[in-house]
Amino acid sequence: MSRKAVFLDRDGTLNREVHYLADPDRFEWLPGVLDALHALQAGGWALVVVTNQSGIAQGLVEVDDLDAIHARMRTELASAGVTLAGIYSCPHHPHIGRAPWVHACECRKPAPGMLLEAQRDLDLDLAESWMIGDSLRDLQAGWAAGCRSILVRTGKGREQEAQLKEPLERPAWVAEDLLQAAQIVLAQVAPAPNLGPR
């Protein structure tokens, strides 16, 4: 039987936004994130990180840096009793940077490629899954994959929320942070969508 998943953006959603984070020592969880992930895992959702990392194409982040950051994430999550089902990253940029990472790709959000790859790898039911992130492109990637989407106001979320205008491709829910987003997911009866600032 296919599993349901929560797809999670990384920077600004799970950890504090750092411009092209390359140093694992600068990685810092946002408040409430570990509690949110623990609750989602306990609720039966597979946890999958999907993150655009064009800093690799641009030469601002090395692949080894990214691997070290994700290793630190997994270690700290394991200490909190949380296991990620997968981490998927897109190293590409459509027109800036160095080979072999400069090209239009299927994985850079808002394209759904990372979510679809995870679906194939992990046997996920996308119709029962959610995408949570701090950017409209996160929401769009979720919709394109057939998921419901939540915008969090952390990271770039507040400025992105101002761009939520009708008509949208699908309803978009807005949460203060990942902990509130987790509450929406766990309720399985989401409140009326917030389609923009009031």
How far apart (Å, rounded) are the C-alpha atoms in residues 16 and 25?
12
Q: Which helix (H) or strand (E) holds 78?
A: helix 63-79
Walk across the sheet containing 5-8 and list its strands.
86-90, 46-52, 5-8, 130-133, 148-152, 172-175
- Catalytic residue at 67? no
3-state helix, strand, coil in the chain (%, to 5): 35, 20, 45
- Catalytic residue at 138? no
Give me the active site residues, please: 9, 11
